[in-house]
A = this chain, B = another copy of it.
Amino acid sequence: MYTIDSIQDIQDMARGAVLLGTGGGGDPYVGELFVHEQIRKGHYPTVISSGELDEDAFVVSIAGIGAPTVILEHLVSEKTLLQLLARAEIFYGRRIDALISAEIGGANSMFPLALSAISGVPVLDADGVGRAVPQLEMTTFSIYGVRATPCILMDDSGNFVNVETSSDRMAEDICRVVTGAMGAMAFSAIYPMSGKQAQDCAVQDTLSQTLEIGRAIRRGREGAGDVFEPLLAYLNSWEGRIARIIFDGKITDVTHETRDGWHWGLATMCGIDDPAQQCTVEIRNEFIVARVNGRTATVVPDLITILDRESGEPMTGEMLAYGQRVKVLGYSADPMLRRPESLEVLGPRMFGLDEDFQPIESL
């Protein structure tokens, strides 16, 4: 168990969460500000590893659900988060021993920390996917048998909805429309699970990973050498995972479209040194496939991040604009995400791509 008492740490974590958000997941900035404020007041989030948890402990995910464009501007209400926790404890008739992030990429990295700071309930150093995903059933929790529901949704007006569905896909459908009626953003207590399930079904150590990624980017920026060197060294230090810069270029075109509740887009880059080289990144909320000169270089669930070429700052899909000089990073997904049962839920075809998954190592 450790306590986060440093604003610097939260800043680093938020930056790391943007990287793991692979262009989507919602900007963690508003949640980050809320946690800053709590740390200033001496209310510190605490983090524990899944191994420290009793097998019969009771864990729930705390997640914001909604449109990234609204999550970005929606201030976090202390009252709503505490009411959500109280409601969940009344509903289950027991104390919640730990919180867990449903997805570590983007805004949902911060909300469990925010609730931990004000409630004292620790956050697990783990999450449900190790990146960001567009739908709530796209988690290792769901893939390995934890049900998304009962899902308790709450908004800042005190509206409360409890959803119990026969499938996690249906939970996604219902939560999405309820969130729409609640003003495009709600907080949820979702994926109730035991300590044993958190140990077996979660992607581990991902909250620490956000911190270390943020630190590595900061070190790269403050150091004298290649700004990306500490980041690549850190990412490659994970057993069985590799990270590489798959393109170094300048954005020559970017399209954005919001359709069917998704953010669709395409970013096109040409090479810095050789403008004949081309890279495209398809956006469907997250960056789902990067192609270099027409050939797939990284594809979901492997991670694709676009970073500012000078500062190493990871960028969300909405931030991309003509003329930006960027590097495109490819990173192996956690091995849990590459298993056949995971690829059925998280593979390229689930995002509308007409190709099978190929690991970045083979591309």
8 A Cβ contacts from A171-230 to B? 173-174, 176-178, 180-182
> Could you say which residues of chain B place their CB within 8 Å of the CB of A166?
157-159
Among candidates B159, B165, B177, residue contacting A180 with C-beta atoms closer than 8 Å: B177
Query: Is A162 an interface residue, CB under 8 A from the partner?
Result: yes
Interface majority SS on A: helix, strand, loop or mixed? mixed
Complex alpha-carbon distance, A230 and B339, angstroms = 73
> Could you say which residues of chain B place their CB within 8 Å of the CB of A161?
161-164, 174, 178
Complex alpha-carbon distance, A328 and B12, angstroms = 72
Given the known interface contacts A177-B177, A177-B181, A178-B178, the answer about A160 and B170 at a Cβ–Cβ threshold of 8 Å is no
Report A321-345 CB contacts with B as 1/0, cut-off 8 Å.
0000000000000000000000000
A22 to chain B, nearest CB (A): 27
> Could you say which residues of chain B place their CB within 8 Å of the CB of A177?
177-178, 180-181
Interface centre among A158, A178, A182 (most CB of B within 10 A): A178
Report A77-94 CB contacts with B as 1/0, cut-off 8 Å.
000000000000000000
A165 & B159 in contact (Cβ 8 Å cutoff): yes
A174 & B178 in contact (Cβ 8 Å cutoff): yes
Which residue of B has the minimal Cβ distance to A161?
A: B163
Complex alpha-carbon distance, A164 and B178, angstroms = 12
- Additional A-B contacts beyond A161-B162, A161-B174, A173-B181 (20; CB < 8 A): A157-B170, A158-B165, A159-B163, A159-B164, A159-B165, A159-B166, A159-B170, A159-B174, A160-B163, A160-B165, A161-B161, A161-B163, A161-B178, A162-B162, A170-B181, A174-B178, A174-B182, A176-B181, A177-B177, A177-B181
- Interface set of A (CB-CB < 8 Å, partner B): 157-166, 170, 173-174, 176-178, 180-182
